[in-house]
Structure 1
Amino acid sequence: MDKSKVIVGLDIGTTSIKVIVAESIQNQLNVIGVGSERSEGLSRGVIVDIDKASASIKSAVAHAEKKANVPINAVYAGIPANMLNIEKCDGIFAVGEPSREITAQDVAQVVNSALIRNLPPEREIVDVLPSEFIVDGFDGIKDPRGMVGTRLEFHGILFTAAKTVIHNTRKAIAQAGLNLAGLVINPLALGQLVLDDGEADFGTIVLDLGGGQSTAAVIHDHKLKYSHVDPEGGEYITKDISVVLNTTLANAERLKREYGNADAELVSSDNQFPVAIVGQTNPQMVGEDYLAAIIQARVEQILQRLGAGLRQVHAFDLPGGIVITGGVSALPGVVELVKKVYQRPVKRYIPDQMGLRHPSFAQGLSIVSYIAQLSEIDILIRRVVDPAEAAPQRAASPSRPAAPAPQRPTAERRPDTAGSRHPQSSPAGEPAPAPKKKKKKTSQRIKNLFTNFFD
């Protein structure tokens, strides 16, 4: 039986930082605390000022601590889809004696063999998801531990991100006085939360319409197959309102929330509201249809850019339709506008947990939900990728004792002739391996996962 555990998710957004504290008891996730703080030091989903970002993180965590009444020392942080690469990876490992059962250490070895590759110096491995294990030619195996075999193969999906994004996230969290328990890829976790089993299996588009940027992701066969980020979001809508109506940003944000609609056809010009104009004493009356036209123009522009990439991978041919979430999706008329632009079925996801009933909390909730649903084999693989990751407090299975955190190998260092490829370095704090005889290894060329992946 699983022991209860507390999971803290950190959603570092461009406009706000959210902290979700949840307790997982026997596969039941209960939110016990929420903290939110306006973001500082972020631009388009990426930390650009570590000092300001760490202060915002610290404040949001303090709010969540107070509401949850539990100390928060470690968090699982989301990584945005900016410059996220999705690739296939494969590994092979000779188990040895035909009568010996496959152990957790064997699984770690075969995953390690899939990670030996020369990455560009600006990229870092974030996560690896297993597609299947193969034991002596028998495929489709989800967990090979306890089986008997001499040859173990691993097929998975490798996610790499910009090293700057990861470093700045780690640095800001550490500077806030917190430990980083692990990283979670935002669109991967969000897809798991907002889609049901059929949608994730047959294929669905997930649109996260945030304040600083908008992200399109494709979930197919329960895997993240595609992601793309548009560097515009709700902030740009607010700026448009401010410029066109000649009012302050604070007033434009208020007008957007109180009177805004993303579809001008759904509102009437008869409904008007006062707008405080900069440089004028008396407010000016503006119709709701005019405000809606301003909002619609920007949202349509975002959707069209995201749609161009989705059409290239034939995502609109998938039967699951479109699920939207994120703060901008809370605007009235957004669902109707997305239907018009994409001509596909659309629904909006809103969390139903108490205190989180707004789509802007979906990403933070998805982080704790993703960690709570990790299987033993998922946790083992994540610890291969990052040996410093904290394993959730689960009761160990009597037939499958938990293995110690394995060490990731590094590719053999060779003279760099082209200057464009470098071996992946060991994570910070990892003990240096004992000197061993060097062996020549052929590094795998990174393959693009999506060459007509829907074909």
Structure 2
Amino acid sequence: MAKTGMYVGLDIGTTSVKVIVAEYIDSQMNIIGVGNAKSEGINRGIVVDIDKTVQAIQRAVGQAEEKAGIKIRQVSVGVPANLLEVENCQGMIAVSGDSKEITNEDVKNVASAALVRSVPPERQIIAIQPQEFTVDGFEGIKDPRGMIGVRLEMFGLLFTGPKTIVHNIRRCVEKAGLAITEMVITPLALTETILSDGEKDFGTIVIEVGGGQTTTSVMHDKQLKFTHVNQEGGEFVTKDISTVLNTSFNNAEALKINYGDAYPERTSASEEFPVDVIGKSEPVKIDERYLSEIIEARMEQIFNKSKEVLDEIDALDLPGGIVLTGGAASMPGIVDLAQEIFGVNVKLYVPNHMGLRNPVFTNVISIVDYSANLNEVYQLAKVAVTGEYTQVEPVATYQEPVYDTTYETPEESEVSVEETSNASVVDKVKGFFSSIFEN
């Protein structure tokens, strides 16, 4: 249950950096400050220029501070699903102490035992999520503290990602003058926050169509089972419009927002609007149907790539269907097109917060809500990853971060969607999460 207090979320996206300040009163979220700044230094979801990213973060934080009337010193920041790997982990220890009563130290120790594994040098553990504990063979325990036992086991999920991505996010936040209270895996926060208990349990697909990439996540049995990133998003639609119509990127973005529809059958060829074309002195008339066909071509390609990986793991058989969200998902006709391509029930998730009723804010809202609802057992297990216990509080002592003089800037990924979803990965996912695909 969320504590009473104030929490700040930071979402570093390809097209914009978003910050929200949320105050929780008796577990009810009230958003009191919002910042939204144009992104610079981000390409396809990853940091490629630290200084420009820092400036964008500072602009967004400044806006949120002004509206909330507070000084922001610490944030929960989202980590994208790029090359994210999810796997089961298990640890077992003998309970320490003469009384054999399970304590905080025992929870930390069993989480550490679950991390005894080989991790490639280019990757790092981002988070460990306890699912359940077993005490002397008794299963299904969520919090074993205070119980008596001899043997304690923990079963959970382990999330690992590229060191470069995690390092550069941390560096950007620290250079912006902020402390990090939680690094939140965005698809995990998203699925936990926007899905109902039934959707989490029986199985649902969440597709977040962002500006620079599209993230497909599968939640089943109340666990995040699978993620896939296609490095195409709403910006690619804008680029297509710009290229085909021979107009500037800004004009193309305005056309997409003002006249765009992803489903041509909903549009009319008789509805026309002027477009400033490069090399022509007078605007050129373009009809609504033609623009829609340009948009449809790209969105169809994006959805088909998601469908390919979902078909390979039989995830489209899950009863929860598909939930769309993300800034590019707000385009008219997107649900109709997705329903036609995937052949399952599709709905659009829109946040229900005054002034933020746009899917572009779903990620940052979910980051805050997920962080606010983290329990003590998670925080104790987290010690095994970070080496320190972090309790998210509305007010905390803040120390100016110490910076190194060097940092890594990742190169643009050359790994294609097809390469990242090859047969061996699919087989591993199928075998590892077989419970998803069986009735």
Q: What is the TM-score normalised by the length of structure 2? A: 0.89
On the 8 A contact 1:201/1:221 being kept in 2, the answer is: yes
Q: Could you tell me which amino acid in structure 1 is paired with residue 265 of structure 2?
A: E
Partner of residue 147, structure 2: 147
Q: What is the correspondence of 1:371-450 to structure 2 with a 5 Å cutoff?
A: 371-388=371-388, 390-393=390-393, 448=428, 450=430
1:80–1:186 Cα contact (<8 Å) kept: yes
For residues 144 and 115 of structure 2, the distance between their equivalents in structure 1, rounded to whole angstroms, comes to 19
1:217–1:226 Cα contact (<8 Å) kept = yes
Equivalences for residues 311-326 of structure 1 within 5 A: 311-326=311-326
Rounded to whole Å, the distance in 2 between the matches of 1:62 and 1:120 is: 38
Match of 1:439 in 2: none
Q: Distance in 2 between matches of 1:385 and 1:315?
A: 31
Cα offset, 1:389, TM superposition:
5.9
Following the alignment from structure 2 to structure 1, what is the Cα–Cα distance between the partners of residues 96 and 258? 67
Percentage of identical aligned residues: 50
Distance (whole Å) between structure 2 residues aligned to residue 278 and residue 224 of structure 1: 47
**Distance in structure 2 (CA, Å) of the matches to 1:219 and 1:176:** 34
Any gaps of 5 or more consecutive residues in structure 2?
Answer: 395-426
Displacement of 1:450:
4.2
Answer yes or no: is 1:253 the counterpart of 2:253.
yes
- The Cα shift of 1:100 comes to 2.3
Counterpart CA distance in 2 for 1:45 and 1:179 is 21
User: Which residue of the partner structure matches residue 429 of structure 1?
Assistant: none
Q: Which has the larger radius of gyration?
A: 1
Q: C-alpha displacement at 1:266, in angstroms?
A: 0.6
Distance 1:343 1:210 in 2: 22
Q: Whole-Å Cα distance in 1 between the matches of residues 2 and 373 of structure 2? A: 12
1:94 maps to 94
Structure 2 counterpart SS, 1:212: coil
Letter of the aligned partner of 1:213 in structure 2? Q
Aligned partner of 2:127 in structure 1 is 127
How many angstroms apart in 2 are the aligned matches of 1:99 and 1:391?
A: 28
Is 1:365 aligned to residue 350 of structure 2?
no
Q: 1 CA distance for matches of 2:3 and 2:22?
A: 14
| Pairwise CA distance, 1:306 | 1.0
Give me the whole-angstrom Cα distance separating, in 1, the residues matched to 2:224 and 2:237: 29
Letter in 1 for 2:334: V
Q: Secondary structure at the match of 1:118?
A: coil
Q: What SS class does the counterpart of residue 71 from structure 1 fall into?
A: coil
Instruction: Tell me the CA shift for residue 129 of structure 1.
Output: 1.0
SS in 2 for 1:92: strand
Aligned to 2:53: 53
Report what 2:408 is aligned to.
none
Deviations 1:291-345 (A, max 9, x none): 0000000000000011111111111010001100001111000000000000100
1: CA distance, partners of 2:345 / 2:3? 41
What is the CA-CA distance between 1:272 and the residue it aligns to? 0.6
**Partner residue of 2:281?**
281
Contact 1:87 1:448 in 2 (8 A): no
Query: What does residue 432 of structure 1 align with?
Result: none
Matches of 1:267 and 1:2, distance apart in 2? 45
Distance (whole Å) between structure 2 residues aligned to residue 129 and residue 161 of structure 1? 15
Higher helix share: 2
Aligned to 2:157: 157
Provide the residue aligned with 1:426 in structure 2. none
C-alpha spacing 1:346/1:92, structure 2 compared with 1 (3 Å): same
**Cα distance, 1:354 vs structure 2:** 1.2
CA distance in 1, matches of 2:227, 2:2: 34
Partner of 1:405: none
CA distance in 2, matches of 1:57, 1:366: 18
State the distance in 2 between where 1:358 and 1:389 align. 35
Q: Secondary structure at the match of 2:156?
A: strand
| Residue equivalent to 2:239 | 239
Partners of 1:76 and 1:47 in 2: CA distance: 17
Q: What residue is the counterpart of 2:400 in the other structure?
A: none
Distance 1:389 1:43 in 2: 33
CA deviation map 1:344-393 (0-9, x unaligned): 00110011111211000000000001011112212222233223463123
Does the 8 Å contact 1:182/1:389 carry over to 2? no
TM-superposed deviation, 1:220? 0.5
SS at match of 1:64: helix
1:262-281 mapped onto 2 (5 Å cutoff):
262-281=262-281
Q: Which stretch of structure 1 is more off in the superposition, 134-143 or 23-32?
A: 23-32
Amino acid at match of 1:186: T
Q: Per the alignment, do residues 329 and 199 of structure 1 end up closer, same or farther by CA in structure 2, a change over 3 Å counting?
A: same
Q: How many residue pairs were aligned?
A: 403
Q: Conserved in 1, the CA contact under 8 Å of 2:276 and 2:282?
A: yes
The aligned residue for residue 401 of structure 1 is none
Structure 2: how far apart are the matches of 1:356 and 1:97?
51
Q: 2:22 matched to which residue of 1?
A: 22
Q: Which residue of 2 aligns with 1:355?
A: 355
Whichever residue aligns with residue 358 of structure 1, its letter is N
- Matched residues in 1 for 2:222 and 2:3: separation? 27
Deviation at 1:99, TM superposition (A): 4.0
Deviations, residues 85-110 of structure 1 (Å, cap 9, x unaligned):
00111101001467421001001000
Report the alpha carbon displacement of residue 286 of structure 1 after superposing the two structures with TM. Answer: 0.5
How many angstroms apart in 1 are the aligned matches of 2:90 and 2:340? Answer: 42
Is the contact made by 2:226 and 2:429 (CA closer than 8 Å) also made in structure 1? no
Given that 1:29 and 1:372 are in contact with CA atoms closer than 8 Å, whether structure 2 keeps it comes out as: no
Q: Determine the C-alpha separation between the residues in 2 that align with 1:129 and 1:316.
A: 25
Match of 2:328 in 1: 328
Kindly indicate whether residue 213 of structure 2 is the aligned counterpart of residue 229 of structure 1: no
Range with bigger deviation, 252-261 or 3-12: 3-12
Residues 167-225 of structure 1: CA deviation (Å, up to 9, x unaligned): 00000111111111110000010011211110111000000000110000001011100
Question: Structure 1: which amino acid aligns with 2:331?
Answer: L
Which whole-Å deviations, capped at 9, do the CAs of 1:268-289 have from their partners, x for residues lacking one? 1011100011011111111100
Displacement of 1:26 after TM fit? 2.0
| TM-superposed deviation, 1:25 | 2.0
Residue 215 of structure 2 is matched in structure 1 by 215
Question: Structure 1 residues 3 and 205 mapped into 2: Cα distance closer, same or farther (>3 Å)?
Answer: closer
Q: Structure 1 residues 173 and 272, CA, compared in 2 at 3 Å: closer, same or farther?
A: same
Find the aligned partners of 1:147 and 1:308 in 2 and give their Cα distance: 47
Deviations 1:101-150 (A, max 9, x none): 10010010000011122211100101111121010000111010000000
Rounded Cα–Cα distance in structure 2 between residues aligned with 1:328 and 1:141: 41
Unaligned 5+ runs, structure 1: 395-446
SS of residue matched to 1:119: coil
Quote the RMSD (CA, aligned, Å). Answer: 1.6
